Amino acid sequence: MSVVEKVVRESAGAAPRSAQVPPSPVTVKDTGLSRETIIDLLLKTLYVQGARTGQQLTDSICLPFDIVDEQLLWLQERRFIEVRRTTGPSRGGYVFDLGNAGRERARDAFEANQYVGAAPVPLDTFRTWIENQSVRHLHTNRERVRDGFSHLVIKEDVLEALGPAINSASSLFLYGDPGNGKTVIAEAIATMFGGDIYIPRAVDIDGQVMVVYDPVHHKPLSDEEQQRPGEAEWLREPQDVDRRFVHIRRPVVFVGGELSLEQLDLQYDEFTKMYQAPFQVKAAGGVLIIDDFGRQLVAPRDLLNRWIVPLEKRIDYLTLHTGVKFPVPFDCLLVFATNLEPHDLVDEAFLRRIRYKLNVIDPDREQWEEIFRRECANRSIPYTARAVDYIYMRYYEGKGIPPRSCHPRDILDHILHAARYEEREPVLTPELLDHACRSYFLIMAHRAMNASGDAA
């Protein structure tokens, strides 16, 4: 049994706070990599960074010093590297540099790929740890859902629909008119997932390197989060964790109209000869949000067809530039958000594969008023019910404009901007309300009046 398998089995019933930790490898075999792979990585690191101490090389490739030093001794014996000087009594303080033979081998190694950094983990190890930390192991209940959405004004029946969708860890389709909070709901779902996981910085696929860690989408835990005050000693971040992994909050990957089919497969750089993991791999263990669905350059049907196998099998297949296909876990809650009519985008067969569908409708007056009240408090604007009466009478009912959940925020921002310009306190007077609503609703009101005129 490998070190990884042993720890996974032992931690299967452990506490939910990332008790399952990738153990630090003890031998080269434990790394899952060949000795040649580690040696080439060390030589490339010296080639790029110049002379480095044994400890600096250890920190660079994120393997234990004993494993690194074993390879350094091998390289020294064959005169691939030389010791230039020492900065301390141990070999960790020896300063190593490339010899002529080492420089030549490093150039040959760069022909395969130009990756320099933390040693990658094997593909099988990546699969093991994603499965070990799967979103399918998470669950929520009514109390947690209410708490997670307490910052939003949402009806009870919507919350009741969201809870099972979150527990499914599968797929959710949010649709409805623009401005009613579909994106905000998707983001709140992502936040509710909470928790933390370990992901590898890079993955080795038969000698090819796929970079997984992305600081845009992955947020490492701070030292304080890893060692929480008053926490039991056995729950704290262990010292022998595999440093090839990064301890992050569960990822939230957010893409919009820029998404293309090519971005859902490996991104190969012909210059560096390395791969960037696609969005769904970076979202492993978390949430992938496809916002503004239907507004991508690629046809919605083609985009959705790409998800059929992953949604059903929870496995995706990626392709190397050599044509070799390999499976990766599809382990995320996939959320689509659109303000277009679902049946105009996809057919019934695909909608059936999306487990949960939720229509995010316009707020009723009670909801709208509560949103307005909260937004006033956020901006330190004195709330008055008469302002709500005025907006409804003059604009929603008077001009046939449908109320949206985003309107309170936007109207009050207009009032703040106008008040600052006039160097006065932001107060909900009819004058400032008209100033805000006329500039905000101008196009919408014009269309509404034209529609009523045509109907007449």
Residues 72-128: tens digit of each pLDDT:
999 999 999 999 999 888 999 999 999 999 999 999 999 999 999 999 999 999 999
Q: What is the pLDDT of residue 222?
A: 81
Give the residue from 55, 3, 58, 54 showing the smallest Cα distance to 26: 3
Give the percent of the chain with pLDDT over 90.
59
Burial 280-292 (b: 16+ CB within 10 A, else e): bbbbbbbbbbbbb
pLDDT at 452: 43
Average pLDDT, the chain: 87
**What would the two tokens of residue 401 be?**
């404009």
Tell me the backbone φ, ψ of residue 87, rounded to 5 degrees. -120, 5
- Cα–Cα separations (whole angstroms), residue 111 to 60, 107, 151: 21, 7, 53
DSSP state of 17: T
Please report, for the chain, how many H helices and E strands are present, in that order. Answer: 21, 17
Tens of pLDDT, residue by residue over 218-233, are 999 887 666 544 444 4
Task: Note the pTM of the prediction, 2 decimals.
Answer: 0.82
Q: How far is CA 444 from the centre of its chain?
A: 35
The phi-psi region of residue 9 (left if phi > 0; otherwise alpha if psi is between -120 and 50; otherwise beta) is alpha
Question: By three-state DSSP, how is residue 282 classified?
Answer: helix
